[in-house]
Amino acid sequence: MSVVMAGVGVQPRWVGIGMASLLSTSSSPGINSNGKLRIKMAVTPVDEKKKAYTLQKSEEAFSKAKELMPGGVNSPVRAFKSVGGQPILFDSVKGSRMWDIDGNEYIDYVGSWGPAIIGHADDEVLGALAETMKKGTSFGAPCLLENVLAEMVIAAVPSVEMVRFVNSGTEACMGVLRLARAFTGREKIIKFEGCYHGHADPFLVKAGSGVATLGLPDSPGVPRAATFETLTSPYNDIETVENLFKTNEIAAVILEPVVGNAGFIPPKPGFLDALRQITKENGALLIFDEVMTGFRLSYGGAQEYFGITPDLTTLGKVIGGGLPVGAYGGRREIMEMVAPAGPMYQAGTLSGNPLAMTAGIHTLKRLKEPGSYDYLNKVTGELIQGIVDAGKKAGHAICGGYISGMFGFFFTDGPVFNFDDAKKSDTSKFARFYRGMLEEGVYFAPSQFEAGFTSLAHTTEDIQQTIAAAEKVFQRI
């Protein structure tokens, strides 16, 4: 059974649960006018005398880190709480590969949690950054590069007529929430269970990402007043949303158009259309949190992919090319509420800094080249199909799906339509699979409840090596 998505007849790719078949394409990424490929990634030959896998140096360093930083990390999603063991300390990255401080090499499917869509430490981006650094790393004043990246974002993302750059996805979501309330004069918002919009107080209600991974309740330190106006609904459940609108004055509905912080969960056909319709009818704003999906599902993000234009959009990750960045944007009449054009205040010393702007500009230039998203779709489809097939062959309950350079799989028969469905996954088995894949040189996100990412630097050889590793691990778990 294939499922045609709302808007423009596109399909999320699901495997393992009888849904749409995979695309097959021979397109390659970034073809220059002379016909040569930009990406020439070589796979390291397998050493017949492969050294024993050890994390001794990581273990020693992490023991010290726990004395210096809470939990030894600076972001909870980096911890290995749900998979066992301890975080690995990395030393360097390049293309599709990562190397830890013990010298182990990994094929990487985290991609710095999404930004590394053209590959880690890209030579052109690094060269551009080196030239920019000669002029300074932060001005605390406007620079021309802000105009350049703003024009690129506005040209690409259907909903964005004006944009404000910030420094993180959390900051972008904080700003867009304040803006939605200022514009509508209302306070209540609707968010979806398992969707993560950063760690600001109003969003830490039934959140995904690290909150789900660590099994934490609504975070201590968040006052009830901060979340009192936050209403929640299961993802893909339009009936609950309709009922919330019947009894509340809603300022905005915010969601990840494709959930990536509870694992990979695409919208059901008609779900985004229905949200667009109900918000228009009730004078509320529709906000797409595209920090993860922006410039990853397509050049215009999920809203271009599905053909649904929200009122406001948050962005991050890819638009900074690996440097700290965030942004929010939307219709001009709404964005002109933001100071200094209007009364809604938001500011940031490092917002629009020249390094983040440079990395973003050169990353987006690469993505705009013909064949980029066809290639991402091809390698990601091969990856998820291979993993799911290998798991089923070994007798495991498993399903998975992907769109372009974003994917996920669950240790359950599925289908997975919301966070409750995702929680049926066998997380103990995922933990065993995860640790086994590390030993085989493959690095996934250390949580069942996080999406994975491919890049233009991933080769067919990378994918085949990953599937071969998965076949071995499935046999022994």
In 3D space, the residue among 129, 35, 67, 69 whose CA is nearest the CA of residue 358 turns out to be 129
Element (H, E) at 409: strand 406-410
Cβ atoms of residues 180 and 392 within 8 Å: no
Produce one character per residue of 443-455: b if its CB has 16 or more CB atoms within 10 Å, e if not: bbbbbbbbbbbbb
Q: How much is the pLDDT for 100?
A: 98
Tell me whether residue 375 is one of the annotated catalytic residues.
no
Distance CA(224)–CA(74), nearest Å, equals 26
For residue 469 the two structure tokens come to 């590793």
Which of left, alpha, beta for 395 (phi over 0: left; psi -120 to 50: alpha)?
Answer: left
Q: How much is the pLDDT for 49?
A: 55
Residues in the chain: 477
Distance CA(3)–CA(303), nearest Å, equals 18
Q: How much is the pLDDT for 21?
A: 34
The DSSP-derived string for 111-180 is GGGTT-TT-BT-HHHHHHHHHHHTT-S--SS--HHHHHHHHHHHHH-TT-SEEEEESSHHHHHHHHHHHH
- The angle at the Cα of 418, spanning 413 to 424, to the nearest 5 degrees, equals 40
pLDDT in tens, 121-171: 999 999 999 999 999 999 999 999 999 999 999 999 999 999 999 999 999
For residue 100 the two structure tokens come to 């830890």
Q: How much is the pLDDT for 459?
A: 98
Q: How much is the pLDDT for 463?
A: 98
Residues of the chain with pLDDT under 50: 1-9, 18-48, 208, 210-217
Distance CA(419)–CA(378), nearest Å, equals 27
Distance CA(310)–CA(302), nearest Å, equals 10
Q: What is the DSSP letter of 72?
A: G
Q: How much is the pLDDT for 215?
A: 43
Tell me whether residue 429 is one of the annotated catalytic residues.
no
- Please provide the distance, in angstroms rounded to a whole number, between the alpha carbons at the two ends of the chain: 31
Which of the following is catalytic: 289, 311, 421, 462? 289
Cα–Cα distance list, 16 to 28, 107, 360, 386, 458 (Å):
26, 23, 36, 10, 23
Q: How much is the pLDDT for 362?
A: 98
Q: How much is the pLDDT for 219?
A: 67
Which of the following is catalytic: 81, 188, 317, 378? 317
Distance CA(241)–CA(274), nearest Å, equals 10
Cα–Cα distance list, 389 to 344, 395, 439, 460 (Å):
51, 10, 21, 17
Q: How much is the pLDDT for 199?
A: 83
Tell me whether residue 289 is one of the annotated catalytic residues.
yes
Which of the following is catalytic: 106, 196, 328, 434? 196
Distance CA(31)–CA(27), nearest Å, equals 9
In 3D space, the residue among 300, 296, 301, 311 whose CA is nearest the CA of residue 376 turns out to be 296
Domains of the chain: 55-120+371-475 (3.90.1150.10), 123-368 (3.40.640.10)
